[in-house]
Amino acid sequence: MVNTKVNLCGITLDNPVIPASGTFGFGQEFHELYDINCLGSFSFKGTTLEPRFGNPTPRIAECPSGMLNAVGLQNPGVDHVITHELPELRKIFHKPVMANISGFAVEEYVQVCEKLDREDGIGWLEVNISCPNVHGGGMSFGTDPKAAAEVTGAVRAVTKKPIIIKLSPNVTDIVSIAKACEDAGADGVSLINTLMGMRLNLRTRKPIIANVTGGYSGPAVFPVAVRMVYQVSKAVSIPVVGMGGVSTAKDVLEMMMAGATAVEVGAANLVDPFASKNIVEDLPKVMQEYGIESLTDIIGAAH
């Protein structure tokens, strides 16, 4: 009998599979299809201080082996999440959930984290300093070690729950940013967010996406994600949550061997709503195929 349990920042997960923020909403739509309690956890829709309508449409463009999106953090705001989404979520999901948080100023991150830190059922605060699809915030905090450390330290000062900083791949040196977050008090880091990209309409000769650029995700980014997870996990002593193009149980094992303690599944959920469930169910079989008795034994095995 294989052991799929992992420990993420002091919280035990039945398995390391975590649907990524922005691809799983608040779990309600997926609950209609299957029992989402089979998952290790999931990261809910990116939440900001005030409600956001998001970017103008079109927001999605298909690409070979992936997709571009520029949704722009559409969400109902933290107060609505606390009063409506979390009570409804507790009815269907009985494990700690990951709260994904975004902001446009350090103080906004602080206020949202402070509010969500008080909520039962939230296990981790995933602080997104890497969204490439908004202006005046998001990724601008995640491309400079000092700015990343400033957000991390400010959030750390007002929270007790584990904080996981979500990092951008759109940088020259992701390792220095990860180390800055660790030094400022992060309990973990998650990576990678989407890669910046764009597509053009040959007839109109204009960008397909109204935002001009979008975040590229899907299987094509997997090798980049594995490389960055490998580099970061070698450089820091805090857990790494790996993501980027993960779509199979074998991908999960590869990401964990690169150094990930847990693995988020993003774009695959938009292609197949059963993707995360299938990965969870396939994992024990694939572990046996490769002679793996416990997932904790392979974390960072490539090092």
Task: Please list the active-site residues.
Answer: 131
Task: Count Cβ atoms below 10 Å from residue 101 Cβ, excluding itself.
Answer: 28
Sequential DSSP letters for 31-59: HTTS-GGGSS--BPPPB-SS-B--SPSP-
Extract the tokens encoding 277.
Answer: 């469930």
Classify residue 157 by burial, with Cβ atoms within 10 Å: 0-12, 13-18, 19+: exposed
Extract the tokens encoding 212.
Answer: 């001009």
Q: What are phi and psi of 276, to 5 degrees?
A: -65, -40
Cα–Cα distances (Å) from 188 to 84, 124, 277, in that order, read 28, 10, 25
Of 221, 223, 228, 265, which Cα lies nearest the Cα of 247?
Answer: 265
Classify residue 253 by burial, with Cβ atoms within 10 Å: 0-12, 13-18, 19+: buried
- Cβ contact 166:193 at 8 Å: yes
Strand partners, 67: 62, 217
Q: Is the dihedral of CA 209, 192, 258, 267 positive or negative?
A: negative
